[in-house]
Homo-oligomer: A and B are copies of this chain.
């Protein structure tokens, strides 16, 4: 039907975030998002199952980048080191997306259903990282614990990153969170 539309998913994301932020998530419809992006409802549904999934398009990309980086980390890297190598790829992925990430964070925090979805995505991310570590020969419980700790560090640093103004700060905030976690667990 419609012609090929360059970066339709990105345009739908920006339109959705703007509308969710201005009018509220619940009050915004798929038709309004598509219209604001200059696209049809039909095109919307080619990319997303529903309006909620627009907010989680980044989760699959995040997981893919991180898992790939863990898989490709130097063979001699330990479990936590491989997870940490992956955080470089994650920081790189998000740095250009700071303005969108900040708006998205405001939308998620205002809606308990979206917060729950976010938690579930983070748990699936930890599972995928643990599987990638096992594939490197890391045994459980180390694989599971390193993966979960990596997600804890990411989540804590990301929460700080969206609350401050510097897009470049994510990797530094991750380093600080990991250092803080080491201090905390050392007692």
A49 interfacial by beta-carbon distance below 8 Å: no
A6 interfacial by beta-carbon distance below 8 Å: no
Q: Which residues of B contact A156 (CB under 8 A)?
A: 141, 144-145, 148
Prevailing SS type, chain A contact patch: helix
User: Among the listed B80, B123, B183, B186, which residue makes an inter-chain contact with A184, where contact means beta carbons less than 8 Å apart?
Assistant: B80
The quantity of this chain's copies bound in the complex is 2
Interface centre among A149, A182, A185, A186 (most CB of B within 10 A): A185
- Within the complex, the shortest CB–CB distance from A162 to chain B, in Å, comes to 14
A39 interfacial by beta-carbon distance below 8 Å: no
- Within the complex, the shortest CB–CB distance from A177 to chain B, in Å, comes to 6
Contact with B along A129-170 (1 / 0, CB 8 A): 000000000000110111011001001100010000000000
A92 interfacial by beta-carbon distance below 8 Å: no
A181 interfacial by beta-carbon distance below 8 Å: yes
- Within the complex, the shortest CB–CB distance from A45 to chain B, in Å, comes to 24
* A residues at B contact (CB < 8 Å): 78-81, 116, 119-120, 123, 141-142, 144-146, 148-149, 152, 155-156, 160, 177-178, 180-187
- What are 6 A-B contacts defined by CB distance under 8 Å? A80-B185, A141-B177, A141-B180, A145-B152, A145-B177, A146-B184
Q: Top 3 A-B pairs ranked by shortest CB distance?
A: A148-B152, A119-B123, A145-B181
